[in-house]
Amino acid sequence: MKKSLIALAVMAAAGAASAQSSVTLFGVVDATLAWGRGSVGDRFQLTNSGYNSSRLGFRGTEDLGGGMSAGFWLEAGVNNDNGTGAATNVNNQLAGGAAAGQAGSQGLTFNRRSTVSLSGGWGELRLGRDYNPSFWNLTVFDPFGTNGVGTTQTLNGTALGINPFTGTVGATANPGGFYPTQVRASNGIGYILPGNLGGFYGQLVYYAGENLNSGVDDGDGYGARLGYAAGPFNVAFGYSTTDISTTIATVLRRGDITTWNIGGQWDFGIAKLMGHYSTDEIDIGGLSVDGKGWLIGGLIPVGAGEVRLAYSEYKTELAGADPKAKKYAIGYVHNLSKRTALYTTYAYVKNSNGAASALNGSVTNAGSSSSGIDLGVRHSF
């Protein structure tokens, strides 16, 4: 009798295990010594995410039968240099995020990704907070993965532009960087193509600002990405647009911020060559400003490590001179194991026509250069 009960318990446990395909705890802890030099002031920091973004996450899938599965993904950004969590945004609006100087003080949030999904041979339906499709091309086709001092200028911009919330010129990132959906969007309803389309891949997403039904669409938007990967070749096109409703000088103005880009990569075996081109366009209540930039770079395997190289630039189109920032970056990653790596990166940015992009927390005058160095260790689990 006892043996029968034990056998039944084992069979029940096996059945539960087969129904739940996997539940995984995962993460990255990346600590960075960062030096920045600018014409106004230099800075030294112990910071994080110089190679890979520090994070803590949980993900799992359940086999529903008939080729269907359900899944979840909860991923939180971690500032391991000071123990805080990264900030999130609840409605894709400026007012939906943490106030300046308070980012991360709210504790751990699943700001990087928070989704539940259903998948099958038809693709995947994904609900929640996730990357905006247009951001993928900037990070996938950047040798530095949009992390650390070498991050492409198509994401960092010129540090000079027009703030669509005030209508004034000020110290800012690129035009698209004013809005929280440049990298991720909350309240998303997304569809991802299945992986059996002969190399084609892609996704669509609609995200909501969750406004009252009063004609104000602040934070609503959508994005799309379509790509093709076969053998050594990979290319993709990305697009997103986000509605804006803001008050400038007591006048309610409406418009949108639109980003589109294209990126690609070719793996030659001895090296990977990659690049992308991106534009950001603001059109809000008669206020228009555009920005555009591009990157070319590569990854070169060297023994147990990899050399990373990139040149990128970004230009904000204003009346008169167009501020431009050009960045040169070189780095090396040495893998001590599959999970642990040492890395270093040097970057130099040359500003012109009033651009004031500065590296690693330093401050530089408009038109002056800036440089930065990262030295760090990354452990993943």
Q: Who's near 17: CB < 8 A, 6+ residues apart?
A: none
Per-residue model confidence (pLDDT) at position 166: 56
Q: Give dist(CA 172, CA 180) in Å, integer.
A: 14
Per-residue model confidence (pLDDT) at position 345: 98
In which band, very low, low, confident or very high, does the pLDDT at 224 lie, cut at 50, 70 and 90? very high
Per-residue model confidence (pLDDT) at position 169: 52
Domain count for the chain: 1
Per-residue model confidence (pLDDT) at position 380: 98
Quick: pLDDT tens for 93-108: 877 765 444 554 567 8
- Tell me the one-letter amino acid at 220: D
CA-atom Rg of the chain in angstroms: 22
Q: Are 93 and 218 in contact (CB under 8 A)?
A: yes
Q: Give dist(CA 46, CA 322) in Å, integer.
A: 34
Per-residue model confidence (pLDDT) at position 11: 38
Quick: pLDDT tens for 110-136: 999 999 999 999 999 999 999 999 999
Q: Is the pLDDT of residue 180 over 70?
A: yes
In which band, very low, low, confident or very high, does the pLDDT at 173 lie, cut at 50, 70 and 90? very low
Domain that holds residue 282: 24-380
Q: Tell me the CATH number at 230.
A: 2.40.160.10
- How many CB atoms sit inside 10 A of residue 339's CB? 11
Query: Do the domain assignments include residue 13?
Result: no
Phi then psi dihedrals of residue 138, to 5 deg: -70, -40
Q: Is the pLDDT of residue 316 over 60?
A: yes
* CA-to-CA separations, 333 to 27, 287, 307, 308, 376, in angstroms, rounded: 19, 44, 7, 8, 10
Query: Do the domain assignments include residue 121?
Result: yes
Highest-confidence segment of 233-247, 267-281, 313-327 = 267-281
Query: Do the domain assignments include residue 9?
Result: no
Beta bridge partners of 297: 274, 310
Query: Do the domain assignments include residue 77?
Result: yes
pTM for this entry: 0.89
**To 10 degrees, the CA torsion angle through 193, 195, 201, 206?**
20
Q: Give dist(CA 283, CA 132) in Å, integer.
A: 20
Q: Give dist(CA 371, CA 351) in Å, integer.
A: 11
Q: Is the pLDDT of residue 265 over 60?
A: yes
Query: Do the domain assignments include residue 11?
Result: no
Q: Are 179 and 242 in contact (CB under 8 A)?
A: yes
Where is average pLDDT lowest: 203-217, 269-283, 288-302?
Answer: 203-217
Query: Do the domain assignments include residue 48?
Result: yes
**Strand pairing category for 55-65 and 43-48:** unpaired
In which band, very low, low, confident or very high, does the pLDDT at 203 lie, cut at 50, 70 and 90? very high
CA 2 to chain centre: 56
Please spell the DSSP secondary structure of 3-34, one letter per residue: HHHHHHHHHHHHHHHHHEEEEEEEEEEEEEEE
Beta bridge partners of 78: 85
Query: Do the domain assignments include residue 19?
Result: no
Phi then psi dihedrals of residue 174, to 5 deg: -70, 165
Query: Do the domain assignments include residue 14?
Result: no
Going through 80-182 in order, the beta strands assigned E by DSSP cover: 84-85, 113-120, 123-131, 161-163, 168-170
Q: What single DSSP character describes residue 94?
A: G
**Among the listed residues 113, 96, 76, 71, the one whose alpha carbon sits nearest the alpha carbon of residue 208:** 96
Instruction: Match 């928070």 to its residue by tokens.
Output: 114
Q: Are 115 and 131 in contact (CB under 8 A)?
A: no
